[in-house]
Amino acid sequence: MEITDETWEIIKNNDKNFDNKLWYGVATTKIFCRPSCVSRLPKRENVSIFQAAEQALEEGYRPCKRCRPMDKIIPNEVWVEEIDLLLKNHYDEDLSLEELGQRLHGSSSYLRHIYKKIKGLTPQQELTRIRLEQARIRLLKGNEAISEIARDVGMMNTPYFIKSFKKRYGLAPNQYRKAYNINSKK
Ligand SMILES: [Zn+2]
């Protein structure tokens, strides 16, 4: 089916109002997606439009693992995997619970609920854990300013970073560096 300017706008804008109404496939990857898929925008000339997911399958396209165009209901375990992947790869970005919901196309309160149910902590607690662990690794190696490390791991509020670090590791970041970084300027 010929792709119209209107349809291209839907794909370009990740318009979720058209989820379950149309699907698009990418010739170069042979993967098909929902309009709302947040994966990288393909080149327009490689895009084909389908009126049903089954139609895409028949033409040899595989469902995208990210937007799961065959599923109406995403299992909780998959949501948790998606959240973990996002936190792991983007911990240095501004990831509020709302932002998480935006990026994963889910309700932020629901995501928080199932994440806590399955993992026993909230996505924000897990995010802080990852950030502090990344900061700890940096403290073991380098001599950057504490505020720089805090910023690089996504914690813009340095006093809060120091407080959280101390709570987790028992030492303030500068003390931790002095104690364990063999290159630290003593
Ligand atoms: Zn997709």
- Digit-coded pLDDT (tens) for 74-124: 678 888 999 999 999 999 999 999 999 888 877 788 889 889 999 999 999
CATH classification (class only), 125-180: mainly alpha
What is the SS3 string spanning 106-144?
Answer: CCHHHHHHHHHHHHCCCHHHHHHHHHHHHHHHHHHHCCC
CA–CA dist 96, 102 (Å, integer): 10
- Residue 118 CA to ligand 1 center (angstroms) comes to 25
Domain positions in the chain: 5-63, 76-123, 125-180
Q: Report the pLDDT value the prediction gives residue 73, as an integer from 0 to 100.
A: 54
Phi, psi (degrees; rounded to nearest 5) at 26:
-115, 120
- Whether 46 shows a pLDDT value over 80: the answer reads yes
CA–CA dist 134, 152 (Å, integer): 9
- In the block, tokens 């109404």 appear at 21
33 as an active site residue: the answer is yes
Pick the CATH number of 5-63 from 3.30.830.10, 3.40.10.10, 3.40.1710.10, 2.60.120.380: 3.40.10.10
Residues with C-beta atoms within 5 A of ion ligand 1? 33, 37, 39, 64, 66-67
- Digit-coded pLDDT (tens) for 131-149: 999 999 999 998 999 999 9
